[in-house]
């Protein structure tokens, strides 16, 4: 009797294990077709082999889920770096204003302004406030290594279209410049003397490049989703 109960218990545990693992095998037809060899390499078999293009090395093949997760995470990192770069730019671009609203006295003559009042720009800038420029630069300094790590961790999934590959090359080109631009902005914000033009140029350039990168990131994410949606349909059609 006890042996029978133990047998049922083991059978029940096995069923639970299979249920728990079931979502892993249903993530993607590409992932399900990856075979891992004794030496640790992996290869794609079946109808997805042609889509993947070649044997994949280094463990389990990168899936669309990995790619989408990395690109989505990059969205938040880029957003926060951009905010700090933009804040630093505007801090360095605060105009120095001159009040021109009251009468001027020249000797014994009082000249009242005609049609002019309020504050007028002098053409210069107010000195940057140390507490704010330090805060913005420290924020970028903290996020720059994270941004670099996330950029390097992204790997283009196999089986994508030529258009996606083209977008990926542009994505890499822009992304490769970002870490250096972050360092330049951080360096421009080091005191004790703060130069408005240097800070404004470095922060403004970083902000604009991050805008371009994020646009390319969105395009690449859209491409990958469309490619794998098409691949899944083809795989489902082949099984029928």
* Percent of the chain residues past pLDDT 90, beyond the cut: 49
Listed in sequence order, the residues at least 6 apart from 73 whose beta carbon sits closer than 8 Å to its beta carbon are 150
Instruction: Enumerate helices (H) and strands (E) in the chain, giving the number of each.
Output: 7, 6
Q: Cβ of 49: how many Cβ atoms within 10 Å?
A: 16
pLDDT in tens, 103-162: 666 677 766 666 555 666 667 899 999 999 999 999 999 999 999 999 999 989 888 899
Q: Give kind and range of the element (H or E) at residue 132.
A: helix 130-153
Q: What is the DSSP letter of 89?
A: H
Backbone torsions φ then ψ of 230, nearest 5 degrees: -65, -40
By the 8 A CB rule, do 113 and 155 touch?
A: no
- Is the whole model's pTM more than 0.85, yes or no? no
Q: Does the domain spanning 63-95+128-239 belong to CATH 1.10.600.10?
A: no
> Facing residues of 110 across strands?
105
- In a 3-state reduction of DSSP, which class is residue 157? coil
CA distances from 73 to 19, 51, 160, 171, 237 (A): 29, 26, 21, 15, 33
By the 8 A CB rule, do 140 and 203 touch?
A: no
* Burial profile 55-86: b = 16 or more Cβ within 10 angstroms, e = fewer: ebeeeebbbbebbeebbeebeebbeebbbbbb
By the 8 A CB rule, do 71 and 221 touch?
A: yes
Q: What is the DSSP letter of 128?
A: P
pLDDT in tens, 216-233: 999 999 999 998 887 667
Mean pLDDT of the chain: 76
Mean pLDDT over residues 78-95, rounded?
A: 97
Domain with CATH 1.20.120.230 in the chain: 63-95+128-239
pLDDT beyond 80 at 97: no
């Amino acid at each position: 009797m006890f042996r029978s109960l133990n047998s049922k218990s083991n059978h029940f545990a096995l069923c639970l294990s299979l249920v728990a693992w079931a979502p892993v095998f249903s993530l993607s037809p590409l992932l399900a077709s990856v075979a891992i060899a004794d030496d640790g390499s992996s290869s794609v078999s079946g109808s997805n082999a042609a889509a993947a293009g070649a044997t994949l090395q280094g463990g389990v093949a990168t899936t669309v889920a990995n790619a989408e997760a990395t690109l989505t995470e990059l969205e938040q990192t880029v957003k926060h770096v951009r905010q700090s770069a933009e804040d630093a730019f505007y801090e360095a671009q605060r105009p120095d204003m001159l009040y021109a609203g009251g009468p001027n006295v020249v000797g014994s003559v009082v000249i009242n302004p005609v049609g002019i009042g309020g504050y007028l720009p002098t053409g210069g800038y107010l000195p940057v406030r140390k507490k704010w420029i330090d805060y913005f630069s420290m924020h970028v300094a903290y996020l720059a290594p994270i941004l670099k790590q996330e950029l390097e961790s992204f790997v283009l999934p196999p089986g994508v279209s030529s258009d996606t590959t083209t977008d990926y090359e542009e994505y890499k080109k822009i992304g490769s410049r970002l870490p250096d631009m972050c360092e330049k902005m951080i360096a421009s914000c080091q005191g004790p003397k703060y130069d408005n033009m240097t800070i404004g140029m470095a922060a403004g350039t970083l902000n604009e490049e991050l805008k371009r990168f994020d646009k390319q990131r969105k395009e690449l994410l859209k491409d990958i989703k469309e490619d794998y949606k098409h691949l899944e349909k083809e795989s489902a059609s082949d099984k029928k």
